[in-house]
């Protein structure tokens, strides 16, 4: 199928998912929709997944691509709006990143809201990083990568490590990150109805499920509103039609030297979607960035 035709098919299917997500009024419904979407959209990769790993109270598992050297490690923070997890989507995405960059991945299985609201997820993510450091992993060989809500958690974890005087990873990779849960970016209005996956009302519900009764300007919830000094080199990417595009653009302005790419017409976390040529190209660019930061 030609790239243009594949993009059209994906967009039409995403619009159907957008309609269903807009009607979902509980985390359970969102989780069910994501599980159904995984069968249609998720990448296909060959990899080994380890048994669960205990990390100072947090959990995770290793994702090792077959036949690739592993010079570095990607500590991965999965998306899912802080309320859902899909191994069918995120394990293959991490495997693809590892295959192309020559790394292995450690996926964090952080606790999900609303059963475990903020700060459970960022606490688990910080515990995982602290475990890596105390276990003896070289931070210069580790990259934090995350998509959507996971991009938020990756940045929050790096900021907390900086503030507590702990070593930082070699780099950050944030794909379509959710960085401002006050949703003050202009694209939240401008792209409402244009974004093929989400409506603004859907995002607002997720914020309340994640951090009910909390001040959403807290940088631990909305890291875009925090201090950006002394963070590792960062790669940012997003699609031009995303509701949350301005989260990426505003962070790019605040992080001097960030490598930022806006992909025309691409949906939220498009590198995770099977069959998109642009997704393969984005993974290749991410892999080059990771390799630059983790190789001798």
Instruction: Classify the phi-psi angles of 62: left when phi > 0, otherwise alpha if psi is within -120 to 50, otherwise beta.
Output: beta
Please choose, from the candidates 176, 180, 183, the residue with its C-alpha nearest in 3D space to the C-alpha of residue 199. Answer: 183
Q: What gap in Å lies between CA 157 and CA 168, rounded to an integer?
A: 9
* Marked catalytic residue, from 90, 241, 242, 252: 242
Specify whether 268 is catalytic. yes
Q: What gap in Å lies between CA 282 and CA 190, rounded to an integer?
A: 25
The alpha carbon dihedral of 228, 229, 231, 232 has a sign of positive
* Marked catalytic residue, from 45, 86, 90, 148: 148
Strand runs labelled E in the chain: 47-49, 53-55, 58-65, 72-77, 103-108, 142-147, 171-175, 234-239, 259-263
The token duo for 22 is 């807009």
φ and ψ of 49, to 5 deg: -115, 130
Could you give the 3-state DSSP secondary structure of residue 213? coil
Show the 3-state SS of 189-208.
Answer: HHCCCCCCCCCHHHHHHHHH
Specify whether 264 is catalytic. no
Q: What gap in Å lies between CA 241 and CA 195, rounded to an integer?
A: 5
- Residues with catalytic function: 148, 242, 268
């Amino acid at each position: 199928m030609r790239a243009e035709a594949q993009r059209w098919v994906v967009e039409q299917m995403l619009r159907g998912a957008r309609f269903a997500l807009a009607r979902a009024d509980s985390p359970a419904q969102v989780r069910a929709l994501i599980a159904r979407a995984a069968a249609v959209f998720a990448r296909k990769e060959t990899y080994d997944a380890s048994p669960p790993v205990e990390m100072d109270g947090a959990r995770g598992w290793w994702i090792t691509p077959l036949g690739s050297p592993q010079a570095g490690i990607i500590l991965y923070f999965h998306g899912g709006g802080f309320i859902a997890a899909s191994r069918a989507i995120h394990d293959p995405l991490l495997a693809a990143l590892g295959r192309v960059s020559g790394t292995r991945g450690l996926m964090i299985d952080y606790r999900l809201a609303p059963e475990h609201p903020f700060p459970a997820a960022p606490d688990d993510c910080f515990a995982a990083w602290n475990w890596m450091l105390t276990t003896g992993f070289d931070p210069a060989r580790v990259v934090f990568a995350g998509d959507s809500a996971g991009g938020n958690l990756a940045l929050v974890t790096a900021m907390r490590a900086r503030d507590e005087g702990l070593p930082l990873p070699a780099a950050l990779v944030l794909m379509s990150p959710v960085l401002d849960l006050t949703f003050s970016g202009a694209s939240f209005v401008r792209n409402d109805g244009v974004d093929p996956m989400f409506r603004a009302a859907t995002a607002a519900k997720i914020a309340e499920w994640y951090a009910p009764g909390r001040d959403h300007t807290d940088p631990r919830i909305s890291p875009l509103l925090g201090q950006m000094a002394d963070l590792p080199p960062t790669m940012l990417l997003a699609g031009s039609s995303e509701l949350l595009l301005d989260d990426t653009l505003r962070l790019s302005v605040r992080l001097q030297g960030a490598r930022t790419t806006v992909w025309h017409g691409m949906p939220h976390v498009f590198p995770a979607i099977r069959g998109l040529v642009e997704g393969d190209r984005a993974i290749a660019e991410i892999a080059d960035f990771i390799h630059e930061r983790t190789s001798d």
